[in-house]
Amino acid sequence: MKKTYPLLAILTISHLLLTTYAIAQGIKKKQLLLIGTFHFNNPNADAVKTIDFDVTTPTVQKELEQITDRIKEFAPHQIFVEWSHDKQSQLDSLYHLYQQGQYEAYINQKYKSQEKRMSYLRDEVSQLAFRAAHKAGLPQVKAIDYFLPMPYDTVMNAIKVAKQTEVMNEINSFISTMEKEANKKRKTMSLTNILLDLNTPISRQQNRSIYLTTLNRAGSIDNFAGAFSVAAWYQRNLYMYALMQKQMQAKDQKAVLILGAGHIAMIKKFIEDDGRYEVVELKDVLNKTSK
């Protein structure tokens, strides 16, 4: 009788064989430094609403210099950011201006709206990624975001129609708790400590858990609005991870991912299952003594 093997079993065996081969051949895993951030220029587009954190103060600027100095010492070959992948040319142009010391003047001249100017001058791409890439001598910063909408309003309506009071209460409680905690930290903690806190195992687990424990249950027995929304979130992050995988060249041994903390929480799991990369944490890079 001809035997058939489930695809999952075949992939699992293949993964184990590849891992064993890599170990036997002494193949070193590529290193990925994961930096989950909050949005430095706060658009408050997420369900959790937070207060502003001014990254332009002298104290925070000094912290950014110290953080990017350590990223330079890590010596990355690539830096990936949360920027729409189909707007790479725009990102290239802005980074070129940054390298020439013309970025701030260009933004101030181009955008008359203060809100628009601040979205470019204070965001984590210019303040953290560009600064780190320039210090590391990188010719380019890579865009890997792939936006997919999560129908949040549809999910909330499905919960109401299904009369899922418990689910609604859990969501509201989660949002309220996250807002209070985030706002307290922004008032009392330094930028460095906020970033370190966002990149702890417990913070990442909290970021991931709401999708499966609560949102996935949304809707009546034959309404999968919740699962559809969660699937969109997984899909977006898988696309982002795929964009990183495709752009990691054979010669690239180290890379930095500077993305929203929610994205990093998901991608950390993908990396663990991938098996070809070694995660490097921000705390370990910051704790290393200067060379």
d(CA 210, CA 170): 9
d(CA 137, CA 134): 5
Backbone angles phi, psi at 46, to 5 degrees: -90, 170
Q: Give the per-residue pLDDT at 24.
A: 41
Half-sphere exposure of 7 (CA within 13 A, CB side): 0
pTM score, whole prediction: 0.88
Low-confidence ranges of the chain (pLDDT < 70): 1-27, 43-49, 289-291
Looking at every residue in the chain, the average pLDDT score rounds to 90
**Residue 91: exposed, middle, or buried by beta-carbon count in 10 A (0-12, 13-18, 19+)?**
buried
Which residues sit opposite 260 in a β-bridge?
37
Q: Give the per-residue pLDDT at 58.
A: 97
Q: How far is CA 186 from the centre of its chain?
A: 19
